[in-house]
Structure 1
């Protein structure tokens, strides 16, 4: 019962997306009704023509010809309205699916970073692409076919009852058998298609991970293990698919069996009725045509049910994405704020998992223009502090004050526009070098773009590329080196010249010589700007005004480079382990 109610809720929710196209929906249903009605007239016209054929050499041609003309008009009219119904159905389907995919992508931009981190990227992409396509192919297009089939069934029964009640009632009494078969198959199909859709998303996630990290797979000789993982998921998908197709394959033979029973019943009862003179031979032929026409929609509906169940399972996954909890609203928050670069963190606590506390009672005060370096072992909370500053995650308690204002009182766009951020993992899109540099400032002039590239010493290698700044980078910039990708990412920040900077291992992929130039460029860029520098290579932070040494989410040491060395504590150990030679 719960599954049935859930399916109904998903169906009505999906149909709600067709409301903007209500006129096309009405026209589609009207065309379907006219098309079916005209197709139901053809057996009557054929039966009437048969009755005008009395015997050999005794054919009433004068009466048959008008009937044949009416028959031709009914057939042509039915085909025309069938085409119009298909046109409007496709129009509704494609526009509704466009709206659904737009809504899902919009929600993907609204969900917090936590959602993206906690869900397989391949699974999310599978919902955005494959699941929505399944909804398009199954549910929406099948809905019109289902409507046509139901109209045909009820229309046929009405016509048969009008011709002869006895034969019509016999057909009605056999209808529950068809409904029982359809219901039995539907129940088993849904559960298997829902499971199949889930496993398909799992498989997409694995493939996306393997393709995106193929170098690491080969480096660690992980091919066999990844193959085993793939085969395990693929085997589950195979087993589930076999059962889904088995129940799906039952549809045709079962409905054909019921069709045969209905046809035979009509034929036998109709023949006895005709012998007794209660119906004519022409009407008997009409009954037989109706019996065939009556049972045909059950075949189609059973086939549609298979697609509907798969589509409902996919629609449920899409709505799960749409229903994901979005970030808290920015409505009514500050959109403009003068930034002096001061930052105060008061009593901040945060954890990704409530069972594993990370940052507890964290306090920090940064003056305008200060350069703050954050160092510490992996997992100490360095990047987490950056995530909280940018509101990629919100604090569990405490507050972060920027330029005298709590960042939760600012719109996220306002807050993030105050920062320029360079990460260890670069991101470039498929487009020209010029477009990638100007990504954060679309109105940038050619001179500004070139100046930013020169500032980070990227201009030289860009000019050596085949089309210079017009060179098209492939997906994620895979046709240039990692160091060059990093330089372009830094140039992007140089171009924007934000009031505050975050450098998260920004020079980790740059060679030592280039790093010297980049550090000079950063030094110039950081003048008068509050900067946060996350670094493992301590040589890059010697000039920082303040160095925070973190461990297990807490500041264990604080001071400049010289002060921390004199403390001879954790920082000194880190520094000496990197720069001193040890002898046995």
Structure 2
């Protein structure tokens, strides 16, 4: 049934199911055709037992007629039986179409059997065509749903992802949609066919014998009551099952992506224990859900068998009294089985429907999430891309009651390198995230070349910005493709030039396939420093007017860092750069250094000025370099 289903109780089955079904509206014509094919197919299959019942009557009547004296009439035979005191035989014969002395009418029998065969073949072909069309409709609906989810993810603000566990979000995007697809595929065709079959069969049953039909219908309210009682209990079990599935997915995803840290800190035993606990909870919930819901089928079969026995007994008595024929009883018994079968199918689909609608609710919850504010219709455009950035009395907070940045103002002139330093949690990365509009400011404004960034489209704003993060991100592909991600239309010569400028070219030639070496999504087949060089080359290739470096050289060795700093100096020329750094040696030559603390700029100036001021920056500088000197001396002593 898929993994990672609802983490909370369903909002409401009815509205969610209707919303899911509403997605079939764009395919009205195909749906109408499917319904028409289903109706014709069901009508043909429902007529089959009636035709076979008539064939049975032809055989039985022929056998009985052969034993009667030729030349006599049906009336004479019946009266003779009554005269002998054999009233039961007389009643039986009075309800049959007899021709005394004649045997089985083989020509009529052959026609009936051929007609029955044609009906069943035609019904099967129409049913196959209906299933083929419905499969196409469902796949198109699911494809569109996936497209909407993908488009929605691109419109969601970054805070939404901050609050969602990665494994949980992936389950909604993949497993829940797969479960919706499976539910639609399995239930729509069966549900439509089953309901039409129930109507058709019920009509034929009343046509043959209203009394037997009423006897058979006694099982319906009993089946409904039993199904409702079981489904109510199974729904709670299914909710618990998907809750524990989502939790287990989260544990697996975290332990897999962080497997190196798990091993380094020796937490395998705790991770395995956590997995076993979550897995056991999932086992208990899944067992309860499947066991309880699995009771529906046996219960329906039991009720259906009771109905079958009652119908057979009452039908036999009606045949003996001459009220109906043997073939009609045979047809009615077939109809009674056909009536209970779709009833059982509908009941057995209850758990699948609950699971599918619950998954749909989770997908709808994602689709209904608050989106980032739309881009302005009359978006402003930066005419001259110089890279001047200005913060004007900017205020921002992640939580309404916890201010982070209050009344912050600063100016980064074109071509300047602005370094941002300070303790962890001071708001350094938040500052550059506000420039990129990953988060929206609460007050003030930020301008790029005099244009408020909120009046620009996000795509236009971010196209002018190159960013290198401390946490490198590479996708599965060649090294060449990963560099070209910064500018997909770049030529091979431009890609190679960016690689040489950022010293990627130095290590690429040691790899078996050079720039065509395929790296996996985690980049595990190259070192951390090499991964970071590739991301720097990617930013170099994009040629932005504003460059943001967030600890961009933290994973490279000292010698390579010196070379990369030279490359960065060339990259930063004629463009504004924001450099977030903890190692002060990397930002000594910055044009402006901002020391942030608790979301405020407490000091700003050049390196020598701040050291001479002997303030917060000086203390941080002394802590780093004094510690380095002490460690060097200790090493020399050893």
Confirm or deny a common fold (TM above 0.5). yes
CA distance in 2, matches of 1:73, 1:532: 79
3-state SS in 1 of match to 2:216 = helix
Partner of 2:78: none
Q: Write the mapping of 1:301-380 to structure 2, written as runs, cut at 5 A.
A: 301-334=346-379, 336-338=381-383, 339-380=385-426
Superimposed CA distance per residue, residues 319-361 of structure 1 (whole angstroms, 9 cap, x where no aligned partner): 1111111111114142631322222212222222223322222
Residue 558 (structure 2) pairs with residue 552 (structure 1): no
Contact 2:547–2:577 (8 Å) recurs in 1:
yes
- For residues 358 and 49 of structure 1, the distance between their equivalents in structure 2, rounded to whole angstroms, comes to 87
* Partner Cα separation in structure 1 for residue 580 and residue 466 of structure 2: 14
Q: Please give the root-mean-square deviation of Cα atoms over the aligned residues, in Å.
A: 1.7
- Work out whether residues 502 and 533 of structure 1, in 8 Å CA contact, stay in contact via their aligned partners in 2: yes
> For the structure 1 residues 4 and 345, does the alpha-carbon distance in structure 2 shift closer, same or farther, using more than 3 Å as the test?
closer
1-structure distance, mates of 2:260, 2:283: 29
Contact 1:390 1:415 in 2 (8 A): yes
CA contact under 8 A between 1:545 and 1:560: conserved in structure 2? yes
Question: How far 1:194 sits from its partner (Å)?
Answer: 2.8
CA distance in 1 between partners of 2:48 and 2:450 (Å): 81
4+ residue runs over 4 A deviation: none
Matches within 5 A, 1:109-124: 109-124=154-169
Is contact 1:343-1:365 (8 Å) kept?
yes
Tell me which residue corresponds to 1:241. 286
Partner residue of 2:19 out of 13, 34, 38: 13
Q: 1:335 to 1:467 in 2, by over 3 A?
A: farther
Paired residue for 1:395, among 435, 441, 448?
A: 441
Deviations 1:209-238 (A, max 9, x none): 111111111111111221222222222212
Asked if the contact 2:157–2:438 (Cα under 8 Å) also holds between the matched residues in 1, the reply is: yes
Q: Give 1 or 2 for the bigger CA radius of gyration.
A: 2
Q: Which moved more, 1:303-312 or 1:230-239?
A: 230-239
* Distance across 2 between alignment mates of 1:560 and 1:4: 59
Q: Secondary structure at the match of 2:395?
A: strand
* Counterpart secondary structure, 1:479: coil
- Count residues with an aligned counterpart: 582
CA distance in 2, matches of 1:203, 1:438: 37
Aligned to 1:155: 200
Aligned to 1:514: 560
CA distance in 1, matches of 2:132, 2:13: 27
Counterpart Cα distance in 2 of 1:235 and 1:324: 32
Write the distance in 1 (CA, Å) between the matches of 2:105 and 2:449: 99
Q: SS of the counterpart of 2:182?
A: helix
Partner of residue 50, structure 1:
56
TM-score by length of 2: 0.89
- Residues 89, 141 of structure 1: 8 Å contact kept: no
Instruction: Give SS of 2:522's match.
Output: helix
Is the deviation greater in 135-144 or in 503-512?
Answer: 135-144
Counterpart-to-counterpart distance in 2, 1:180 and 1:347: 67
Which of residues 23, 29, 33 in structure 1 aligns to 2:35?
29
- Tell whether 2:114 aligns with 1:108: no
Q: How many Å apart are 1:150 and its aligned residue?
A: 1.0
Structure 1 distance, partners of 2:425, 2:266, is 26
**TM-score for the superposition, normalised by structure 1:** 0.96
What is the CA–CA distance in structure 1 between the aligned matches of 2:407 and 2:448, rounded to whole Å?
Answer: 18
Contact 1:194 1:314 survives alignment (8 Å): no
Q: Against the structure 1 CA distance between its residues 531 and 316, is the aligned structure 2 distance closer, same or farther, given a 3 Å change threshold?
A: same
Distance 2:259 2:400 in 1: 34
Q: Give deviations 1:484-531, integer Å, cap 9, x for gaps.
A: 111111011111111111000000001000000110111111112111
Deviation at 1:4, TM superposition (A): 8.8
Matched, 1:59 2:104: yes
Residue 431 of structure 2 is aligned to residue 431 of structure 1 = no
| Whole-Å separation in 2 of the counterparts to 1:395 and 1:340 | 23
Cα distance, 1:174 vs structure 2: 3.0
Following TM superposition, by how much is the alpha carbon of 1:379 offset from its aligned partner in structure 2, in angstroms?
0.7
Tell me if the contact between 1:39 and 1:75 (Cα under 8 Å) persists in the aligned partners.
yes
DSSP-derived class of the 2:26 partner:
helix
